[in-house]
């Protein structure tokens, strides 16, 4: 200031302190307040007592005295009345001076800038947190979607497996009793259907006079008769657990003891044949009323045959091949209306419960020697039964 004229120095002082509250404290080495001045009331320091402990009267001095560093600045302190000051300390030989130089305007300007920066930062932090939650939600959604896809795949596989089972069941039901078909499907073991040899009882049956009827009747009438005939016989075959080999017009072939074994194949075949004969006799009465003379004959033989699936993709049948099959077919051909012709082996197996009539030796086409054949006249009293 010493190079400035008094007028300039005074003006400068006025400009500097016009809008700023300036105050000071002077504290001795015993920490007693020994001097104070300026606009003390702006900082809530209007009631100071000289000679009393400084720190008790000006709480912001707590911990700062005695001064360990000089000069020392504590910037931008907001005191009780909202007035903000830079607090300048220095010491001289008499004690420590504390000068409060107001910086409220500067603090407010800084705060406005800082507030904007912080608001921006907080907004970015919230946005980042929101993005993280969104990403987490997306990840969860993706995981759920993948889980759903896995469930769908599993469901498709299950449906495919069940469709496969239904197809197998449908295929097996064509020649097996439904209960047996379900047994094979549920066990999952179809090796039983592979080619093998087994002792079976084969039953052939067809209608007598059917060819003549078919030649003279309308096709619709023929089909209606066959539908009734099949609808009557097939449930019987299933109830006796016979394996239905094939339909060929009025001819049917059934065998027993394969693919699932049974202890008495000849007996079952004969009991089925008797039940068939009774059922067809009831049908034939109706046919006769319409002027059709149609009868029914059966042939049964027992012996080893080769069995298994034959055919090609999408058209498999389960069938038996062998002399026993041919023999049963020839016996069926040879049977008159109402006859159930059986070989001597079958006859001996059913002699206990069936009334047999001796037919004698028959020459069978395809066999080098004739066969002794019997006719099953009826089941003995008390032996009649519809199904096993």
Return residues touching another protein (CB under 8 A). 55-56, 59-60, 62-64, 68, 72-80, 84, 107, 110-111, 114-115, 117-119, 121-122, 125, 129
Shortest Cβ 114–another protein spacing (Å):
5
As a whole number of angstroms, the distance between CA 376 and CA 349 comes to 12
Q: State which residue, 75 or 164, has the beta carbon closest to another protein.
A: 75
Shortest Cβ 40–another protein spacing (Å):
16
Q: Sign of torsion, CA 296 302 308 311?
A: negative
Shortest Cβ 76–another protein spacing (Å):
2
Tokens read off for 225: 């008769």
Q: State which residue, 42 or 307, has the beta carbon closest to another protein.
A: 42
Q: State which residue, 128 or 361, has the beta carbon closest to another protein.
A: 128
- Rounded to the nearest 5°, which phi and psi values hold at 243? -95, 120
Tokens read off for 354: 């069936």
As a whole number of angstroms, the distance between CA 46 and CA 32 comes to 17
Is residue 203 a contact partner of residue 216, using CB atoms and an 8 Å limit? no
Q: State which residue, 20 or 230, has the beta carbon closest to another protein.
A: 20
As a whole number of angstroms, the distance between CA 167 and CA 314 comes to 10
Shortest Cβ 36–another protein spacing (Å):
18
Shortest Cβ 103–another protein spacing (Å):
8
Place of tokens 């496969």: 164
Q: State which residue, 72 or 353, has the beta carbon closest to another protein.
A: 72
Strands 315-321 and 243-248: unpaired
Q: State which residue, 22 or 79, has the beta carbon closest to another protein.
A: 79
Could you tell me which residues are beta bridge partners of residue 254? 203, 244
Q: What is the CB neighbour count within 10 angstroms for residue 280?
A: 24
Q: State which residue, 15 or 68, has the beta carbon closest to another protein.
A: 68
Shortest Cβ 96–another protein spacing (Å):
13
Shortest Cβ 79–another protein spacing (Å):
6
Q: Alpha helix locations (H) across the chain?
A: 6-17, 54-57, 104-173, 178-187, 210-216, 219-239, 265-289, 323-334, 344-350
């Amino acid at each position: 200031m010493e190079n400035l004229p008094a007028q300039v120095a005074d003006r400068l002082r006025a400009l500097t302190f016009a809008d700023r509250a300036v105050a000071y404290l002077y504290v001795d080495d015993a920490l007693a307040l020994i001097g104070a001045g300026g606009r003390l009331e702006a900082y809530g320091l209007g009631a100071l007592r000289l000679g009393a402990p400084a720190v008790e009267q000006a709480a912001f001095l707590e911990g700062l005295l005695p001064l360990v560093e000089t000069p020392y600045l504590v910037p931008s302190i907001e005191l009780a009345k909202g007035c903000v000051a830079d607090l300048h300390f220095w010491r001289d030989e008499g004690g420590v001076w504390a000068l409060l130089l107001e910086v409220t305007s500067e603090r407010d300007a800084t705060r406005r800038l800082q507030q904007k920066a912080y608001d921006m930062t907080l907004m970015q932090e919230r946005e980042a947190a929101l993005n993280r939650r969104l990403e987490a939600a997306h990840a969860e959604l993706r995981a759920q979607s993948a889980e759903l896809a896995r469930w769908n795949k599993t469901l498709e596989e299950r449906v495919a497996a069940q469709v496969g089972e239904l197809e197998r069941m449908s295929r097996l039901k064509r020649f097996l009793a439904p209960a047996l078909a379900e047994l094979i499907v549920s066990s999952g073991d179809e090796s039983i259907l592979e080619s093998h040899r087994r002792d079976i009882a084969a039953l052939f049956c067809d209608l007598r006079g059917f060819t003549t009827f078919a030649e003279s009747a309308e096709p619709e009438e023929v089909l209606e008769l066959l539908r009734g005939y099949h609808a009557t016989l097939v449930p019987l075959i299933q109830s006796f657990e016979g394996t239905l080999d094939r339909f060929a017009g009025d001819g049917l072939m059934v065998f027993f003891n394969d693919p699932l074994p049974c202890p008495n194949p000849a007996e079952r075949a004969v009991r089925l044949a008797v039940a068939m004969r009774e059922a067809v006799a009831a049908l034939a009465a109706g046919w006769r009323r319409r002027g059709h003379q149609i009868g029914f004959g059966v042939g049964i033989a027992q012996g080893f045959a080769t069995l298994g699936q034959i055919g090609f993709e999408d058209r498999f049948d389960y069938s038996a091949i062998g002399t026993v099959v041919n023999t049963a077919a020839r016996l069926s051909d040879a049977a008159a209306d109402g006859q159930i012709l059986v070989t001597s082996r079958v006859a001996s197996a059913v002699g206990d419960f069936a009334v047999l009539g001796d037919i004698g030796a028959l020459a069978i086409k395809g066999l080098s020697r004739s066969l002794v054949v019997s006719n099953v006249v009826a089941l003995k009293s008390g032996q009649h039964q519809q199904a096993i």
